[in-house]
Amino acid sequence: MVIIFKAGTTSQIVAEILETLTSHNLSAFLIHDKTNMIIGVQGDHKIISQLLNDHPAIEKIKSISTSYQLVSRDAIPENTKVSVGKVVVGDKKVIVIGGPCAIESREQLFETATAVKEAGAHGLRGGAFKSRTSPYYFQGLGVAGLKLLHEVSQALDMPFVSEVIEADDVAVMARFATALQVGTRNMQNYRLLKELGRVKKPVLLKRGMSATIEEFLLAAEYIISEGNPNVILCERGIRTFEPTTRNTLDLAAVPYLKMHSHLPVIVDPSHGTGMSELVIPMSKAAIACGADGLLIEVHHHPKEALSDGRQSLNPQQFARLMNEIEPFVAAAGREL
Amino acid sequence: MVIIFKAGTTSQIVAEILETLTSHNLSAFLIHDKTNMIIGVQGDHKIISQLLNDHPAIEKIKSISTSYQLVSRDAIPENTKVSVGKVVVGDKKVIVIGGPCAIESREQLFETATAVKEAGAHGLRGGAFKSRTSPYYFQGLGVAGLKLLHEVSQALDMPFVSEVIEADDVAVMARFATALQVGTRNMQNYRLLKELGRVKKPVLLKRGMSATIEEFLLAAEYIISEGNPNVILCERGIRTFEPTTRNTLDLAAVPYLKMHSHLPVIVDPSHGTGMSELVIPMSKAAIACGADGLLIEVHHHPKEALSDGRQSLNPQQFARLMNEIEPFVAAAGREL
Amino acid sequence: MVIIFKAGTTSQIVAEILETLTSHNLSAFLIHDKTNMIIGVQGDHKIISQLLNDHPAIEKIKSISTSYQLVSRDAIPENTKVSVGKVVVGDKKVIVIGGPCAIESREQLFETATAVKEAGAHGLRGGAFKSRTSPYYFQGLGVAGLKLLHEVSQALDMPFVSEVIEADDVAVMARFATALQVGTRNMQNYRLLKELGRVKKPVLLKRGMSATIEEFLLAAEYIISEGNPNVILCERGIRTFEPTTRNTLDLAAVPYLKMHSHLPVIVDPSHGTGMSELVIPMSKAAIACGADGLLIEVHHHPKEALSDGRQSLNPQQFARLMNEIEPFVAAAGREL
Amino acid sequence: MVIIFKAGTTSQIVAEILETLTSHNLSAFLIHDKTNMIIGVQGDHKIISQLLNDHPAIEKIKSISTSYQLVSRDAIPENTKVSVGKVVVGDKKVIVIGGPCAIESREQLFETATAVKEAGAHGLRGGAFKSRTSPYYFQGLGVAGLKLLHEVSQALDMPFVSEVIEADDVAVMARFATALQVGTRNMQNYRLLKELGRVKKPVLLKRGMSATIEEFLLAAEYIISEGNPNVILCERGIRTFEPTTRNTLDLAAVPYLKMHSHLPVIVDPSHGTGMSELVIPMSKAAIACGADGLLIEVHHHPKEALSDGRQSLNPQQFARLMNEIEPFVAAAGREL
């Protein structure tokens, strides 16, 4: 259920109503702190109505029929725009974020980041803490990698996103990264999601590789219901019987999510296909069906990458991607 | 293995070589009967080379590393263009085929077909023989439906495609339909595929709902290796764990198929998603990633459809689809 | 809906009622032609009740809530017992059917069949017509193979089951084989199913590799609603993301099917796992959860098999299987 | 690669060799600290051989061909036996662990635990910290629930296992619980796995719902390579297209895991099917194919359960399970 306020309601009044609800042991959350103040609340519609009845500041109390509430477009009809540094995701611009899967060294990062920026990317991506299937695979540079990312990001004046793999790391990540990514294996790490709900940093939430769309939205609900509305959804492919591609990129999820949620949606065609030659066509397709952005793996020497080289573009291919998606961005009535 | 001939080789010489091969008990097939005469042959490379050695008409004998041979782009580098009546699939034009899932009556068909044509569709689709999960569901009008389709097709001067569900029906279908469709449940009905290989009618081959891309190409190989090169591949969604959409539309299969095969590829976003509101965005995405055409379910009154109403567009929505895909067709450097 | 008759009702009365129903354009089918005469009928409960009201031979008219009707245990509470020659499937005995995937030669078949019989198997299996993914794989010996099977079956006094891959072949198959198998790729070949419904031969229906349990039961319904109640269901593994095993053997389907249907259920652990070393443990598991029988691939020299050698037991392993399952058969309160 | 020592080698010598390896920057781990001292080591075989060459205590240096090493039966041929309090998992006895999905109250827990013990169960299960799809579902009693479990466990003299959902909680869980469970959503929470590798408590590792068998074994490798060899694998069903059952119980994984790993394997048919009526038949099947134990959800009033009531047995059904599995335990040559 959501409580929507009349235009001009002060935040003090909203805070009082929130207090009324929580003092009656109702689970209530404030979202969208500026223009659209809304309270999400769990509980019996009748009891809540009686409690708040006739409050002059309340526009309406609305039941949401889906299991997810605060992420629902029924609750908040307008698109949420998430600011990642100076970049806004979910607005007219299609945002492209590029960079290596894992940070390997200062040279690798600088070289790739510079190329990515020159090609026109809006943001940088890179993994410092890696979540790997085998304990014997490269696990990332850790805090050292994070600091490198921060340094490069400052030098190039580009925001960056990096994966956080545990609740304990949220604080250090939040200090350095512009946005925090939740990886596919952690989409249902609810402790981590709750911790991310308590910081105000933007969160890039990747869909679990075997998560349904409903579970994906409920994972976002975990973050938002803790108080952080800055969530970007990322479709990155699901696990199916098909062995040709690494995952099956579920692009139909993009328009579905845009219809049923107000959150921005971006697509990762690199993990979504696992094959560099499919990244450009699937980037075009993602934009055509309404994606707000792309997350692309770029590596200076894909064949020497310590992780996921098979799906990485080299800088020349990335520049080609930026060129080739342009007419599709325009066809979608958007800008690059 | 494929045998490629020099330009100017007469069909008589090719026939002689074919005869040489088959008289040595080698399984050999002629494909692409006009400009690019090619023989596909199974067997030991060395034996075949010795047999044909130094024949002046042979350009080269080429081994194909994949399990599929004749459908492979390694065998035939140029795009195959399949003529469906006056319409060519696999050329510059993006082809849109629309119509009802099942033919229900003359009025329904005329009304829908006229609307589809007025909106700019190139071809008509409609099921006369239906393959249904339950014996108690509507099974189609059969030959009567087929004749209706033929009548409407003639009246509107539009080619049409209709599903054939058994080898025995190929002859009657071939007499009336412009192109014959193999449904998802029949993709591995090899008798049917072989029978279709023996007629010259174009075949629209739908991917099995749990077929891998390799199995899909091998199904096409069954048709082509019997002598019919006119195969159009159709991605229509695969079965996964995701319950939100009826199937998971595997759009990455489109560029993959275009890279590894010379056959045209179209997309069916109606069955691929099962939700009419996702058909337009996924049509755009299909075109953006390289599809040669679309197969769209249209029904005059979707809510009253005897089959698959939930995923059908009404004529107004179909007209909107034709308008909205236009800029994406242009962005792809193609025409509508 | 099913119409159940009182004990002692003559088949003439039942035939009259069937006539009444069909003369009113209702789709009605007679099943279980001896002790339990039952009519399955589609249509409005009220109309049917009025039509037949107070007929003294009718015990009750029962609505079945599932999409499948005649295969439902709600319709027929007792287990159906299917006779395959002298062997009864669905009774106290656990039936084991063994033999090669494909018939390759008289020696191979005789040798394997003799070994299988000596080890205690009740029936023989073998493919004459093969349904293969690639047109270049061995496609079976056809009618010649079928005749070999018939000859060996006579010589060893063992019933045999063989796959039928097209409606047109049903007649010839029915002349030679004791039971006709529908393969996984044909589970939704509805023409074939209907044709099998018109012969009285037992049908061994394999689950489609991506068929839900409901679709599996509806496929059986196709056969039974045409008049042939002699259907044996066979779980043979489904297609999932797991690459280790060839398929994922869905053993939970066995007790589910036994609860919701009156048909016998057997298990094929050879295709279900694709690994010979898993066949014995999964055979035990199948019996433990209620399977009425096993279908096992046996080959004299698995490594030289023209088809599916990786999953075949050799005769020694098959003899071990027969020994090792014995205590589990006893634990299940059954006999071998 | 694993280094196997001769019988009688002292732990001091092993420690010296471990020191030699790690001082050369090789990643090396000691496992099986009593009778079978083994060192797992990553790196170049030749370098390691040179480094240790001719050391008189070394029996052999063995390469393991799979991605997983220390969990492999190639590395350690004998079954690992894991002690959970007085109960040993992986020995002759088939171990049954029963209890509620979530701890709801002292009465519920006492009543259910007493019934479970009386019926003959060896261990108790119960969730204090719950990992739930929606933030609005019951999240468990937390530490209070854990203390209740501890109290009941002491009172009834039964070991208990409970889920740990974050690395931070490992310490508190290890203080109270006899064994720590990793839930399906956390199978790839590598930080949690590493933390569990540093305590000596037994770990019950559930397979991720979309994890391959190889990924499952690599998750166990994470724990063991940190020094804790006490890992019990638990098959609990995988996510497939089949909607009838909650998950598809992949029982073939049981014999596969037993063949390729030395770790004990138990089965959870409650989550594996999601339907209480399938729990008994699938328990029998699990034992028949080699499972070392069962994990069963039991609730005093399943219909009122705050979590997963649909799949819980009531105490009478659980007692029936214990009776009915007995002949299958005997058939498997084991004890209950």
To the nearest whole number, what is the mean pLDDT of chain A?
92
Greater confidence (B255 vs C7) lies with: B255
pLDDT at B99 over 90: yes
- Other C-beta atoms closer than 10 Å to the C-beta of B309 total 16
Q: Are D248 and C252 in contact (CB under 8 A)?
A: yes
Cα–Cα distance for residue pair B273/A251, rounded to 1 Å: 10
Tell me which range, B134-143, D104-113, D302-311, is most confidently predicted by mean pLDDT: D104-113
Find the range with the poorest average confidence among C12-16, C90-94, C229-233, D324-328: C12-16
Q: What is the ipTM of this complex?
A: 0.93
With an 8 Å Cβ cutoff, the interface of chain A facing chain C consists of: 210, 239-241, 243
Q: Are strands C82-84 and C87-89 parallel, antiparallel or unpaired?
A: antiparallel
CB-defined contacts A:D, below 8 A: 70
Q: Give the per-residue pLDDT at D35.
A: 60
Q: Which residues of B touch C168 (CB under 8 A)?
A: 167-168, 191
Instruction: Kindly report the nearest CA distance between residue D294 and chain C, in angstroms.
Output: 14
With an 8 Å Cβ cutoff, the interface of chain B facing chain C consists of: 27, 42, 67-69, 131-136, 165-168, 185-186, 188-191, 194, 209-210, 215, 218, 221-222, 225, 239
B275-334 pLDDT per residue, tens: 999 999 999 999 999 999 999 999 988 887 777 778 999 999 999 999 999 999 999 999
pLDDT-derived band at D32, boundaries 50, 70, 90: low
Q: Which residues of B touch D250 (CB under 8 A)?
A: none
In Å, what is the CA distance from D220 to each residue of A137, A169, C171, D78, D230? 15, 23, 55, 17, 10
pLDDT at A108 over 90: no
At A61, which amino acid appears? I
Q: Are C32 and C11 in contact (CB under 8 A)?
A: no
B contact chains, 3+ CB pairs < 8 A: A, C, D
Contact D132 A67 (CB under 8 A): no
Helix (H, G, I), strand (E, B) or coil at C209: coil
Contact A245 B238 (CB under 8 A): no
Q: Which helix (H) or strand (E) holds D38?
A: strand D38-42
Considering only the beta carbons, identify the residue of C214, C242, C252 that sits closest to D249.
Answer: C252
- Other C-beta atoms closer than 10 Å to the C-beta of D19 total 11
Cα–Cα distance for residue pair A98/A319, rounded to 1 Å: 11
pLDDT at A266 over 60: yes
Cα–Cα distance for residue pair A142/A127, rounded to 1 Å: 9
Token pair recorded at residue B42: 């199974």
Cα–Cα distance for residue pair D138/D136, rounded to 1 Å: 7
Helix (H, G, I), strand (E, B) or coil at C102: strand
Q: Which residues of B touch C221 (CB under 8 A)?
A: 134-135
pLDDT-derived band at A31, boundaries 50, 70, 90: confident
Contact D239 B241 (CB under 8 A): yes
Considering only the beta carbons, identify the residue of C68, C134, C185 that sits closest to B67.
Answer: C134
Q: Are strands B2-5 and B38-42 parallel, antiparallel or unpaired?
A: antiparallel
Contact B27 C136 (CB under 8 A): yes
Closest CA to B96 of B327, B330, B328, B325: B325
Q: What is the 3-state secondary structure of chain B?
A: CEEEECCCCCHHHHHHHHHHHHHCCCEEEEECCCCCCEEEEECCHHHHHHHHCCCCCEEEEECCCCCCCCCECCCCCCCCCEEECCEEECCCECEEEEECCECCCHHHHHHHHHHHHHCCCCEEECECCCCCCCCCCCCCCCHHHHHHHHHHHHHHCCCEEEECCCHHHHHHHHHHCCEEEECHHHCCCHHHHHHHHCCCCCEEEECCCCCCHHHHHHHHHHHHCCCCCCEEEEECCECCCCCCCCCECCCCHHHHHHHHECCCEEECHHHHHCCHHHHHHHHHHHHHCCCCEEEEEECCCHHHCCCCHHHCECHHHHHHHHHHHHHHHHHCCCEC
Residues sharing a CB contact under 8 Å with residue A10, sequence separation 6 or more, in sequence order: none
To the nearest whole number, what is the mean pLDDT of chain C?
92
Instruction: Kindly report the nearest CA distance between residue B243 and chain D, in angstroms.
Output: 8
User: How many helices, marked H, and strands, marked E, lie in chain D?
Assistant: 11, 14
Burial of B7 (0-12, 13-18, 19+ CB in 10 A): exposed
Q: Are A186 and A211 in contact (CB under 8 A)?
A: no
Query: What are residue D28's phi and psi, to 5 degrees?
Result: -130, 145
Q: Give the per-residue pLDDT at D15.
A: 87
Q: What is the mean predicted confidence (pLDDT) over C219-227?
A: 92
Residues sharing a CB contact under 8 Å with residue D145, sequence separation 6 or more, in sequence order: D102, D103, D126, D127, D128, D129
Q: Are D70 and D2 in contact (CB under 8 A)?
A: yes
Helix (H, G, I), strand (E, B) or coil at D95: strand
Considering only the beta carbons, identify the residue of A210, A239, A241 that sits closest to C239.
Answer: A241
Closest CA to D137 of A212, A230, A215, A213: A215
Considering only the beta carbons, identify the residue of B238, B286, B289 that sits closest to A240.
Answer: B238
Contact A259 B277 (CB under 8 A): yes
Contact C243 A243 (CB under 8 A): yes
Q: Which residue of A has its CA nearest to B287?
A: A285
Report the percent of chain D where pLDDT is more than 70: 99
Instruction: Kindly report the nearest CA distance between residue A95 and chain D, in angstroms.
Output: 30
CB-defined contacts B:D, below 8 A: 8
Greater confidence (B4 vs C207) lies with: C207
Burial of A168 (0-12, 13-18, 19+ CB in 10 A): middle
CB-defined contacts A:B, below 8 A: 121
Burial of A53 (0-12, 13-18, 19+ CB in 10 A): exposed
Cα–Cα distance for residue pair C99/C204, rounded to 1 Å: 15
Q: Are D272 and D311 in contact (CB under 8 A)?
A: no
Q: What is the 3-state secondary structure of B216-242?
A: HHHHHHHHHCCCCCCEEEEECCECCCC
What's D101's DSSP letter?
Answer: S
pLDDT-derived band at A35, boundaries 50, 70, 90: low
Q: Give the per-residue pLDDT at A9.
A: 87
With an 8 Å Cβ cutoff, the interface of chain D facing chain C consists of: 210, 212-214, 238, 240-245, 248-256, 259, 272-273, 275, 277-278, 281-282, 284-290, 327-328, 330-332
Most B CBs within 10 A among D210, D240, D241, hence the mutation to make, goes to D241
Q: Give the per-residue pLDDT at C28.
A: 83
Cα–Cα distance for residue pair B85/B149, rounded to 1 Å: 14
Q: What is the mean predicted confidence (pLDDT) over A217-234?
A: 94
Contact B168 C168 (CB under 8 A): yes
Q: Which residue of D has its CA nearest to B241?
A: D241
Residues sharing a CB contact under 8 Å with residue B65, sequence separation 6 or more, in sequence order: B74
Q: Which residues pair with A206 in a beta bridge?
A: A234
Q: Give the per-residue pLDDT at A34.
A: 52
Q: Are A228 and A203 in contact (CB under 8 A)?
A: yes
pLDDT at D266 over 60: yes
pLDDT-derived band at D29, boundaries 50, 70, 90: confident
Contact D189 A190 (CB under 8 A): no
Instruction: Kindly report the nearest CA distance between residue D242 and chain B, in angstroms.
Output: 7
Token pair recorded at residue C144: 């010649």
Q: Which residue of D has its CA nearest to B239?
A: D241
pLDDT-derived band at B42, boundaries 50, 70, 90: confident
Token pair recorded at residue C211: 């068929």
pLDDT-derived band at C34, boundaries 50, 70, 90: low
DSSP for A9-57?
--HHHHHHHHHHHHHTT-EEEEE--SSS-EEEEES-HHHHHHHHTT-TT
Angle subtended at Cα D67 by Cα D62 and Cα D72, rounded to the nearest 5 degrees: 55
Tokens 């306020």 belong to residue: A5
Q: Which residues of C touch A210 (CB under 8 A)?
A: 241
Q: Are D238 and D209 in contact (CB under 8 A)?
A: yes
Q: Which residues pair with D93 in a beta bridge?
A: D335
With an 8 Å Cβ cutoff, the interface of chain B facing chain D consists of: 210, 239-241, 243
- Of chain D, the end-to-end C-alpha distance in Å amounts to 37
Token pair recorded at residue B252: 């990455």
Q: Which residue of B has its CA nearest to C187?
A: B185
Determine the distance from the C-alpha atom of residue C90 to the mean position of all C-alpha atoms in its chain, rounded to a whole number: 10
Closest CA to D205 of D226, D167, D172, D179: D179
Tokens 């000859």 belong to residue: C151
Q: Give the per-residue pLDDT at D267.
A: 98
Cα–Cα distance for residue pair D138/D307, rounded to 1 Å: 8
Contact B167 C168 (CB under 8 A): yes
Q: Are B155 and B161 in contact (CB under 8 A)?
A: no
With an 8 Å Cβ cutoff, the interface of chain B facing chain A consists of: 210, 212-214, 238, 240-245, 248-256, 259, 272-273, 275, 277-278, 281-282, 284-290, 327-328, 330-332
Q: Which residue of A has its CA nearest to B285?
A: A285
B216: left (phi over 0), alpha (psi -120 to 50) or beta: alpha
A contact chains, 3+ CB pairs < 8 A: B, C, D
Instruction: Kindly report the nearest CA distance between residue A198 and chain C, in angstroms.
Output: 36
Contact B214 A285 (CB under 8 A): no
Q: What's the number of CA atoms in the CB half-sphere (13 Å) around residue B78?
A: 9
Token pair recorded at residue D246: 């909650």
At A34, which amino acid appears? K
In Å, what is the CA distance from B18 to each residue of A133, B15, B58, C119? 52, 5, 12, 50
pLDDT-derived band at A32, boundaries 50, 70, 90: low
Contact C27 B136 (CB under 8 A): yes
Contact B221 C134 (CB under 8 A): yes
Greater confidence (A264 vs B3) lies with: A264
Q: What is the mean predicted confidence (pLDDT) over B43-50?
A: 82
Contact A278 B252 (CB under 8 A): yes
Cα–Cα distance for residue pair A239/A303, rounded to 1 Å: 25
pLDDT at B33 over 80: no
Considering only the beta carbons, identify the residue of D166, D218, D225 that sits closest to A191.
Answer: D166
Q: Which residues of A touch C243 (CB under 8 A)?
A: 243
Q: Which residue of C has its CA nearest to D250?
A: C248
Token pair recorded at residue A218: 């409920």
Q: Which residues of C touch D238 (CB under 8 A)?
A: 240-242, 248
Considering only the beta carbons, identify the residue of D67, D135, D210 that sits closest to A134.
Answer: D67
Dmax over CA atoms of chain B, in Å, equals: 66
- Other C-beta atoms closer than 10 Å to the C-beta of D154 total 10
Q: Are C83 and C323 in contact (CB under 8 A)?
A: no
